[in-house]
Structure 1
C-alpha cells in the first residue's frame, strides 16, 4: 500500500504581486493566469487530503508538495518551452521567438529538482512527519536571470553565433518576476544546486548538440557528472549520509 506521496506542483503556485521578494512556503497561494491557478488548486487539494484521508491513524500516508524553480535540461521536447524552441530554431536556422525577454526566473537543472523529489520522498517513506507539507526547491545565492540572459548563455555554449531572436507579439499573461526562497530545503535537507547557472546551461546545450550532431542521448553521462559533483560538494544525499 502507499506509504508516502510527493506531489509536484510549481513555483508559479504563489499569488504573485510582481515584487522582487522571494516567495516562501508560507506565502499566499493564487494565480493571475490559468496555469498558476491550477497549481495553487493542486496545492489546496493536496493539503485537504493530507489533513483528512491521509491522516487516518490506521493507515497514515505521509505527503508533501514540491515547488521547483524553472527547470532546464536535455530531453525536453515539449512545445512552447524556451530551450526546445530555441534548439529547433538553431537547427533549422530560423528565427527564435520569445514572449518576454526581460522576465526573471529561478533557473535550475532538471536533475536538481528530480534529486530533491527523491530526497523528500525518502524522508517521508521513513515515516518522518516533520518533512510533510510544502517545499521550495530553487537555486541558491539569488541566482536569478532573465530569459534574454539564458538565450545568450545557451548560444555561447552551443557556439551558434548570434541567434536570430524576435518577440512573440501574442499576448500571454505570465509573471515578469519570479523568485523562490529555498532556505527551508537548505536548512533541513542540506539542499543546494549542484551546477551553477553557467554549468546548468552548458550541460543542457551539450546534451542537445550531441543529440543533433552525433545522434547521442547523454542522460547517463550527465547523471554521472552530476552525482560526482554532488559528492565533491559533500551533499548528504549523494554521499549516502542522509
Structure 2
C-alpha cells in the first residue's frame, strides 16, 4: 500500500472470504474503543470486527451490548503482554488492520504503579506491533495522547513538537510511540499514530473527571478540585473522536502522526461549576461553592494541552457535537447506567483526590 493511498475496507482479493477485512480493536470494551467498535460494526457490515480486551477494572462488555448479536462482531478475552497468545491470535484470525487502544491510562495510578504502566503501555505495544508486523498486517493505528507533549501556556502543539511528558503515564505513552515509529523507520511497517485531546461521553469509567463529577453529584457528594482548579483541558465528545479514527483508518498516511482535538477549552473549576448547576439545578454562587471540595494539588500538574489539528482537518474531519449537547447526553446516560461496572462505587472513593485526565 503506497503512502497517502486511501485504504479500501471493501476490497480483498479472496472472494471466498466471508468478511473482506478483519479489523482487530485492542481494548475494545473500554471507553473510546467501544464507541469506535460500534461505529465500525455498523458502518462496515462486510468486515469482521475482532474485539480484544483483558476486561480490566475499567472495561465493560455492557459497552458493546448493542452490537453483540451482529454477525461481524467477535470478542476475545486476552492480554497484549502475552506474546504467545498474541502470536496465535494473529495466526488464527488473519488480521488485516489493527486499532490499538489497549492501555493503562489513569495518571494518579501511574504514580503508584509506574512499572505496570510501562509493562502494559510499552512492552504490550511492542508485543502487538512486532506480531502484527510478522503477520503482514496492512495498517496499524496506535492511539496515543496529547499528554506526551507536556504542557504549554500559549503555544499550540503540532505533530512535530517535541515530547516532554511530565508523569509516568505520559512517559509510557511517549515510549510506546518510539516503539511504534521504530517499526516504520526500520521496516516501513504501515503504522499511524494519533494524539487526542480529553475525550468525554457515555461509557467512560467514573475515575475520570467528567463521569466522576457527574457520579459524585448524583450521589449527593462534592466535586473534588486539585489546587485552584485553573488547569484547563480541551474536551472532545466521544462521537467526534470516533469519526476522527474512522477517517484516519481510511485516509491516514502510513508513518504519519495526527492530532485529534478541539478549540473548546474549560478549566476544571469551570467544569465543576457547570455540572453543579446542571445536575443540582442551582444558580447562586454561594450554593455552587458549597458543592466544591478543594484539596492540595500534586507536585506538578500540566496547565494546558493546546493542539493544532490542521493536519487531520485536511483529511476532512471537524468536531461537530457542541459542549452543551455533549454534556447533556453524558449526564443523562450516567443517570441510567452508572452501575455498568461491577466496581463503579469503588471508583468514587479510590485514590482521592483523582486527577482529571480523560484520554
TM over 0.5: yes
Q: Partners of 1:170 and 1:105 in 2: how far apart? A: 16
Structure 1 residues 170 and 104: CA distance shift in structure 2, 3 A: closer
Partner of 2:192: 64
- Would you say 1:194 and 2:317 are equivalent positions? no
**Is the 1:69–1:138 contact (alpha carbons within 8 Å) kept by the matching residues of 2?**
yes
Residue correspondences, number: 198
Q: Offset of 1:113 from its aligned partner?
A: 1.5
Partner of 1:154: 275
**Is the 1:10–1:66 contact (alpha carbons within 8 Å) kept by the matching residues of 2?**
yes
Partner of 2:169: 35
Residue 163 of structure 2: SS of its match in structure 1? Answer: coil
- Would you say 1:138 and 2:265 are equivalent positions? no
* Alignment gaps of 5+ in structure 2: 1-135, 283-287, 341-359
Q: Partners of 1:82 and 1:121 in 2: how far apart? A: 29
Q: Partners of 1:117 and 1:40 in 2: how far apart? A: 19
Q: Partners of 1:77 and 1:184 in 2: how far apart? A: 30
Q: Partners of 1:95 and 1:159 in 2: how far apart? A: 11
Partner of 2:55: none
- Would you say 1:90 and 2:225 are equivalent positions? no
- Would you say 1:106 and 2:234 are equivalent positions? yes
* Structure with more of its chain in helix, by fraction: 1
Structure 1 residues 15 and 86: CA distance shift in structure 2, 3 A: closer
Q: Offset of 1:14 from its aligned partner?
A: 0.9
1:44-63 to structure 2, matched below 5 A, reads: 44-53=178-187, 55=188, 61-63=189-191
Structure 1 residues 159 and 94: CA distance shift in structure 2, 3 A: closer
Residue 140 of structure 2: SS of its match in structure 1? Answer: strand
Counterpart selection for 2:331 from 205, 226, 238: 205
**Is the 1:89–1:95 contact (alpha carbons within 8 Å) kept by the matching residues of 2?**
yes
**Is the 1:154–1:202 contact (alpha carbons within 8 Å) kept by the matching residues of 2?**
no
Q: Partners of 1:165 and 1:22 in 2: how far apart? A: 31
Counterpart selection for 1:122 from 236, 250, 258: 250
**Is the 1:90–1:160 contact (alpha carbons within 8 Å) kept by the matching residues of 2?**
no
RMSD over aligned Cα atoms:
2.2
- Larger Rg computed on CA atoms: 2
Q: Partners of 2:213 and 2:193 in 1: how far apart? A: 30
**Is the 2:247–2:317 contact (alpha carbons within 8 Å) kept by the matching residues of 1?**
no
Partner of 2:203: 75
- Would you say 1:178 and 2:312 are equivalent positions? no
Q: Offset of 1:160 from its aligned partner?
A: 4.3
**Is the 2:181–2:255 contact (alpha carbons within 8 Å) kept by the matching residues of 1?**
no
TM-score, normalised to structure 1, is: 0.74
Structure 1 residues 114 and 138: CA distance shift in structure 2, 3 A: same
Q: Partners of 1:179 and 1:198 in 2: how far apart? A: 21
Partner of 2:147: 12
**Is the 2:196–2:261 contact (alpha carbons within 8 Å) kept by the matching residues of 1?**
yes
Q: Partners of 1:170 and 1:19 in 2: how far apart? A: 18
When structure 1 is superposed on structure 2, of 61-70 and 200-209 the one drifting more is 200-209
Residue 171 of structure 1: SS of its match in structure 2? Answer: coil
Residue 212 of structure 2: SS of its match in structure 1? Answer: helix
Residue 142 of structure 2: SS of its match in structure 1? Answer: strand
